[in-house]
Structure 1
Amino acid sequence: MAEIQLRNIKKRWGHVVGVDNFDLTIADKEFLVLLGPSGCGKTTTMRMIAGLEDATDGDILIDGVRVNDLEPKDRDVAMVFQSYALYPNMNVYENIRFPLKVRGVDTALHDERVMQAAERVELTDFLDRKPAALSGGQRQRVALARAIVRKPKVFLMDEPLSNLDAKLRVSTRAQIKNLSHDLAATTIYVTHDQIEAMTLADRVVVMKKGVVQQVGSPTEIYDTPANTFVASFIGNPAMNLVDGEMTGGTFRAPNVEIAGLAGPDGRVTLGFRAEDASVANAGGEINAPIYTLELLGDATMVSVRIGGQLVAVKADKTFRSEIGDPVSIHVHKDHCHLFHAETGARIGE
């Protein structure tokens, strides 16, 4: 069992706040993703769990034991870094074996444990190679094998795919997903890539400037974002956000009119996903000239400009038109989200 409790964790450097009042329980065997832009505090949170940073305030508990004052080596966590951090003078076998030597594991068990870890990440044909002779994807798999070889309570992964090209990211992401399922270990994964978060996580923690914005399953985060920051950060493309006015249940903005909404009168921000709208022949809720067209293969992305904001809708891949042509877009009221204009917080449910 490896339940992790973060009780009102804070990290400050003088007047600079890195993480503010982070309070969360991470269940045993859960795959939790910390998601947010650079500087949001996600890596700092992970480093405090690992013991590489001291928490300014709050408590960190692993299996009910407070670990704030324990050295990293005594917390029984394994960390996979963005930079791989392999020993260049050692071959793959020795790199994977190294944690067993450092922790004094019986040498009679080393070969079996190394081979098991290498097989899990498909490295058995590369055990004699030095890191310099490996591709980026192979090096990352060595780092993964080195983390799993000693069977720690907790895996910590700090943007492990960010140095890989797009194709390798997809295949290695699948490997990490499969590994987490097989190992059934508690995993905390840091990334700024929302696709990684959506595909890997049991739960996602979205962070901004050291503050947790929302915690939930990928579906919850995607379908019911807590505020405009989460709405704009999750999704490809991000949720469309349009500033306008609500009067008697009708939202209005330049070239936009959507009736039947439940929300207060006054200034609000309307949100909807590109896939939740469609191109109509006429009579749609949005009517404007086409700003740009993008053929995606399985669909055509049609964008129009509403005020100073771009609004995107996914049309059929056979849709054809020209920039500047008028287009009518249907947005069903049940797919609309409303946010407070000042705070960005979600309005009602």
Structure 2
Amino acid sequence: MAQIRLKNLSKRWDSFVGVDNFNLDIADQEFLVLLGPSGCGKTTTMRMIAGLETVTEGEIWLGDKMVNRLEPKDRDISMVFQSYGLYPNMSVYENIRFPLRVRKVPRDQHDERVMRAAEMVELTDFLDRRPAALSGGQRQRVALARAIVREPNAFLMDEPLSNLDAKLRVSTRAQIKNLHHTLKTTTIYVTHDQIEAMTLADRVVVMNKGVVQQVGTPTEIYDNPANTFVAGFIGSPAMNLVPGEISQGTFTAKNIKVAGFDPELSGKVTLGFRAEDAAMNEGEGEITAPIYSIELLGDATMISMRVAGELVSVKTAKDFRAEIGDSVSATIPTEICHLFDSETGARITARGALTRTAS
């Protein structure tokens, strides 16, 4: 049983708050991703779970045991770091085997467990090599195999793909996804890359400045961001966010007018919509503005326009033809739009939730 529970977890250094009142239940066999920009507290949270950082306040439970005072070696957790941490004087086989020696696992089990772990990450042809003779992707797979061979209750992975090039990140990401499906071990994965989070996670925890912004499945977070921070962080490109005013059910700002919202809402708001949910329009649309840039993506074309002082992206067909500076129109269906409070950044969901008038 590898359920992990974090209760009122905080980490402070004097007046600096690294993690603030983190509460979460992580289910057995769940793949949870901690996502956010550098300095948001995600790695600090993981290090507290591992026992590498002391807890200022709160409790960490692994199964039915509170582990705040346990040494890292007694928590039965394997970690995979951004730096591979391999022993250069040892072969791949001995690097993978090393945790078994440290934990005094009977020697007659070593070969079987090392070979099984190596096979999972496709390293059986490289067991006699030293780390210096491996590529970056192969070294990361050695680090994964070394974590797997322990057969721990949980894996903690701290940005394990950040040192790899784009092609290797894609293939190694697929390997990690398949490993989790095979091993069914609780996994906490730290990254600042929202594509990794969306493709790997059962649930994502979005963090900023030590505070949890939203917890949900990748689909929930993508489709229903809790605030403008999450909306602007998730997605490639991120959600378009346009400041403006709403009155009698109509949002207006420079070069944009969208009708059909709750008529009881009034005041300053931020309108959000995804590039793929809008469409270029030959007639009149909700947006009319000159083209700022055109990017051919291969399967589509990304059009950028400046709206209310913000760059807004619209994804359109790959055969779309226009020039920078041309005036174009885009359609934004009201049902795909999101409204956020301009002061707090929070998502507006309740009828009449916003009543402040524009100043």
Distance 2:203 2:216 in 1: 5
Deviations 1:46-80 (A, max 9, x none): 00000000110000000120000000000000000
Distance 2:346 2:101 in 1: 51
Gaps of 5+ in 1: none
Q: How does 1:127-138 map to 2 (within 5 A)?
A: 127-138=127-138
Q: Secondary structure at the match of 1:93?
A: helix
- Number of the residue aligned with 2:292: 291
**Amino acid of the structure 2 residue aligned with 1:248:** Q
- Number of the residue aligned with 2:329: 328
Gaps of 5+ in 2: 351-359
- Number of the residue aligned with 2:207: 207
In the TM superposition, residue 278 of structure 1 has moved relative to its aligned partner by 0.2
Q: How does 1:179-198 map to 2 (within 5 A)?
A: 179-198=179-198
Distance 1:54 1:168 in 2: 34
**Amino acid of the structure 1 residue aligned with 2:116:** Q
Distance 1:325 1:199 in 2: 37
Distance 1:87 1:49 in 2: 25
- Number of the residue aligned with 2:96: 96
Distance 1:90 1:209 in 2: 40
**Amino acid of the structure 2 residue aligned with 1:129:** R
Moved more, 306-315 or 144-153: 306-315
In the TM superposition, residue 283 of structure 1 has moved relative to its aligned partner by 1.3
Distance 1:8 1:172 in 2: 34
Distance 1:28 1:261 in 2: 42
Does the CA-based 8 Å contact 2:92-2:130 persist in structure 1? yes
Distance 1:315 1:146 in 2: 46
Distance 2:246 2:64 in 1: 49
**Amino acid of the structure 2 residue aligned with 1:120:** M
**Amino acid of the structure 1 residue aligned with 2:172:** T
**Number of residues of Structure 1 aligned to a counterpart in Structure 2:** 349
Distance 2:309 2:123 in 1: 51
In the TM superposition, residue 193 of structure 1 has moved relative to its aligned partner by 0.1
**Amino acid of the structure 1 residue aligned with 2:283:** A
Q: TM-score, normalised by structure 2?
A: 0.97
- Number of the residue aligned with 1:113: 113
Q: Secondary structure at the match of 1:242?
A: strand
- Number of the residue aligned with 2:355: none
Q: Secondary structure at the match of 2:144?
A: helix
Does the CA-based 8 Å contact 2:244-2:308 persist in structure 1? no
Distance 1:221 1:305 in 2: 26
In the TM superposition, residue 307 of structure 1 has moved relative to its aligned partner by 2.6
Q: TM-score, normalised by structure 1?
A: 0.99
Distance 1:57 1:288 in 2: 52
- Number of the residue aligned with 1:9: 9
Q: Percent identity?
A: 73
Q: Secondary structure at the match of 1:328?
A: strand
Distance 2:64 2:170 in 1: 36
Distance 1:307 1:11 in 2: 40
Distance 2:156 2:255 in 1: 48
Q: CA RMSD in A?
A: 0.6
- Number of the residue aligned with 1:278: 279
1:305 aligns with 2:322: no
Q: How does 1:221-236 map to 2 (within 5 A)?
A: 221-236=221-236
Does the CA-based 8 Å contact 2:240-2:275 persist in structure 1? yes
Q: Secondary structure at the match of 1:79?
A: strand
Deviations 1:177-197 (A, max 9, x none): 000000000000000000000
Distance 2:90 2:284 in 1: 68
Moved over 4 A (4+): none
Does the CA-based 8 Å contact 2:52-2:72 persist in structure 1? yes
